[in-house]
Amino acid sequence: MLRYFDPQELITPGIITRFGCIPTWGAYQIVKHHARDFDVNYSINDMGFRDRRHPIGSVPGVKRIAVMGSSYVFGMGVEDDQVFTSLIEDGLNNSEVLNFGVVGSGLSVHSYLYRTVARQYNPDVVLLHIHFNGRDDMLHADLTPVVGKPDPMTERTRLLLRAIPGYYWLGERSHLLARERKSGHGVAIDPVPVDQTRKELAYADVIIAFADMVRSDGRKFIILYEDAVVRGLPVVAEVVRRYGVGVVLDAGDRFAGDSHWSSSGHLKVAGKIIEVL
């Protein structure tokens, strides 16, 4: 009955979580994601990112672009070949675009992944997508990921669920299981009461530190942002526009019941970035 009266998002469990991708076994893992506005598959490589596997280090004659961000970079809701990172690679000659998007992550996680993972691939360009996964993302002026842990009861519930025979099969088909999994999400960052200007200054400091880190490595640094996202945030807007490429999207460039970009949104974003590169 839940399927008809309260349909849930259905997604292969244990791969994509509120805090990012879990590394998979084998070369690739196909993740199925069914929601009201889309029914798509995600190809996840053995490092847990939505991309093919790339060799470590530089590739002679190939320009590498590392893209850091959250579910918008990951491409939530669209097929592999519709993600803007894939479209940029198709539109540029002798280039590889590496997708390091992690669902539900914030700026501190992007910075951490650049330092610990993306650097190994010697990118020529680092493209950072700015989107706030909660304004509390602005509260931390360091580059260390801050991830809240679920309470013990939630953890016990998850362990019990994963012990069910056919758990992954059920995860792709059971609306009851989907609702239970959704109720078990933790909180990414504990909110701290602080005035808006102080939040913005802290967030701007992280952006500047990230930019300085990338540029000190001898790499080009670009920020991708939407005008609507930074509107009303004057301190942050000033910083992102210093490094950034602004994109204006219409209502038709998003899913009807979801803020994520549809295929037309990804196409517009790709076109804008290709102009800059």
Give yes or no for a contact between 266 and 252, defined as CB atoms under 8 angstroms apart: no
pLDDT of residue 20: 45
Same structural domain for residues 133 and 10?
no
Same structural domain for residues 13 and 114?
no
The reply to whether the predicted model has a pTM over 0.85 is no
Same structural domain for residues 142 and 68?
yes
pLDDT of residue 204: 87
Of 164, 186, 208, the last residue of a domain is 186
pLDDT lower than 70: segments of the chain = 1-28, 133-195
Give the strand order in the sheet containing 220-226: 95-101, 63-69, 125-129, 220-226, 244-247
Three-class HEC string of 152-216: HHHHHHHHHHHCCCCHHHHHCCCHHHHHHHHHCCCCCCCCCCCCHHHHHHHHHHHHHHHHHHHHH
Give yes or no for a contact between 261 and 72, defined as CB atoms under 8 angstroms apart: yes
pLDDT of residue 152: 59
Same structural domain for residues 136 and 217?
yes
pLDDT of residue 188: 37
pLDDT of residue 193: 42
Backbone angles phi, psi at 64, to 5 degrees: -105, 135
Give the strand order in the sheet containing 28-34: 10-11, 28-34, 39-45
Same structural domain for residues 108 and 16?
no
For residue 244, give the 3-state DSSP assignment.
strand
How is residue 2 written in tokens?
Answer: 């839940």
Same structural domain for residues 76 and 212?
yes
Q: Which residues contact 12 (CB under 8 A, 6 or more apart)?
A: 29, 30, 31, 32, 33, 168, 171, 172
Backbone angles phi, psi at 33, to 5 degrees: -135, 115
Instruction: Evaluate whether residue 55 is within a structural domain.
Output: no
pLDDT of residue 174: 52
pLDDT of residue 103: 82
Q: How many helices (H) and strands (E) does the chain have?
A: 11, 10
pLDDT of residue 158: 56
pLDDT of residue 214: 96
Give yes or no for a contact between 228 and 133, defined as CB atoms under 8 angstroms apart: no
Task: State pLDDT tens for residues 75-122.
Answer: 999 999 999 999 999 999 999 999 999 887 788 888 888 998 999 999
Same structural domain for residues 93 and 30?
no
- Which ranges in the chain belong to alpha helices (H)? 2-5, 71-74, 84-91, 107-116, 152-162, 167-171, 175-183, 196-216, 227-230, 234-243, 263-276
Give yes or no for a contact between 247 and 225, defined as CB atoms under 8 angstroms apart: yes
Range of the domain at 28: 1-48+151-186
pLDDT of residue 134: 47
Give yes or no for a contact between 206 and 106, defined as CB atoms under 8 angstroms apart: no
Domain count, the chain: 2
pLDDT of residue 169: 52
CATH number at residue 235: 3.40.50.1110
